[in-house]
Amino acid sequence: MSEIIAIANQKGGVGKTTTAVNLAASLADSGKKVLLIDADPQTNATTSLGFNRNDYEYNIYHVLIGIKKISDVILKSKLENLDLLPANIGLVGIEKEFYDPSKKNRELLLKKALNSVKSNYDYILIDSPPALGPITINALGAADSVIIPIQCEFFALEGLAQLLNTINLLKKSINPKLKIKGFLPTMYSVQNNLSKQVLQDLEHHFKDKLFLGKENEFIIVPRNIKIAESPSFGQPVTTYAQKSKGAKAYNNLAKSILKG
């Protein structure tokens, strides 16, 4: 049975793409078949795996509007067991489709598209854009669960109520089985008192929704230069700097998810 996990938070720069790419790579490295879906017109997940615009003709947009079969658009990445459904800036055009009232089930375009390939994968991870618009709704409509990265900086929890509210509305309408898989504190910095404060707030409000490592410690992604560098080498941090603190954090997250 494949598990579909959306990585979502309508705030930009909180670590969604970083989490989607590195978790996907780590799960693939442990032998699981993984599909990473780039659902952001900014195409950062696609670029992070070393693809550029000239490497592919079609992208998720063509799948969502129904002119291409998803299996014809999925690319093999350089990493074993890891495939990518790439994005392109043209994906912004999906907004128009979405607001076309003649289109039925507009929130479930991605879910429908995934039906034909789902059984090929153990995990399907969806990197969402920084908005609660139609693309994120499609990601959450297709997902079994959602991981919410929280940047350990000022304003971290701002907007979270709105995201949780959206998730609840989707549970009551198009996706009753949608679960919050967990909150992932990202860019944690020991020198930064704000980081500690954000973590305390998360522990206070969502203790049972934080990921646990093997010693039952909370999994926290540290601010780590190797994480920031790795996309420019077209690699996840888990292969670019295997021994870095960043790689370890994402490998621990993968282990926690494999445990279920």
Question: Does 23 participate in binding ligand ADP (rule CB under 6 A)?
Answer: no
Question: Does 246 participate in binding ligand ADP (rule CB under 6 A)?
Answer: yes
Q: Which of 6, 198, 221, 247 binds ligand ADP (CB under 6 A)?
A: 221
Asked if 143 and 39 touch (Cβ cutoff 8 Å), the reply is: no
Of 29 and 40, nearer to Mg ion (C-beta) is 40
Of 132 and 174, nearer to Mg ion (C-beta) is 132
Interaction residues for Mg ion, span 6-45 (CB under 5 A): 16-17, 44
Q: In what order do the strands lie in the sheet with 3-7?
A: 75-76, 82-85, 34-38, 123-127, 3-7, 145-151, 179-186
Amino acid at 96: K
241 binds, among Mg ion, ligand ADP, none (CB under 5 to 8 A by kind): none
CA distance 224 to 237: 10
Question: Does 5 participate in binding ligand ADP (rule CB under 6 A)?
Answer: no
Interaction residues for ligand ADP, span 35-74 (CB under 6 A): 44
Nearest distance in Å: CB 228, ligand ADP: 4
Q: Where are the beta strands (DSSP E) in the chain?
A: 3-7, 34-38, 75-76, 82-85, 123-127, 145-151, 179-186
CA distance 30 to 18: 18
Q: How many residues bind ligand ADP (CB under 6 A)?
A: 18
Nearest distance in Å: CB 115, ligand ADP: 27
Interaction residues for ligand ADP, span 178-217 (CB under 6 A): 186-187
Interaction residues for Mg ion, span 129-168 (CB under 5 A): none
195 CB neighbour count, 10 Å cutoff: 22
CA distance 206 to 219: 13
Both tokens of 68, joined, read 């291409």
Nearest distance in Å: CB 106, ligand ADP: 24
Q: Which of 12, 31, 66, 90 binds ligand ADP (CB under 6 A)?
A: 12
Cβ-based burial of 243 (10 A; exposed 0-12, middle 13-18, buried ≥19): exposed
Q: How many residues are there in the chain?
A: 260
Residues of the shown chain interacting with ligand ADP in the complex, contacts defined by CB under 6 A: 12-18, 44, 130, 186-187, 221, 223-224, 227-228, 231, 246
Residues of the shown chain interacting with Mg ion in the complex, contacts defined by CB under 5 A: 16-17, 44
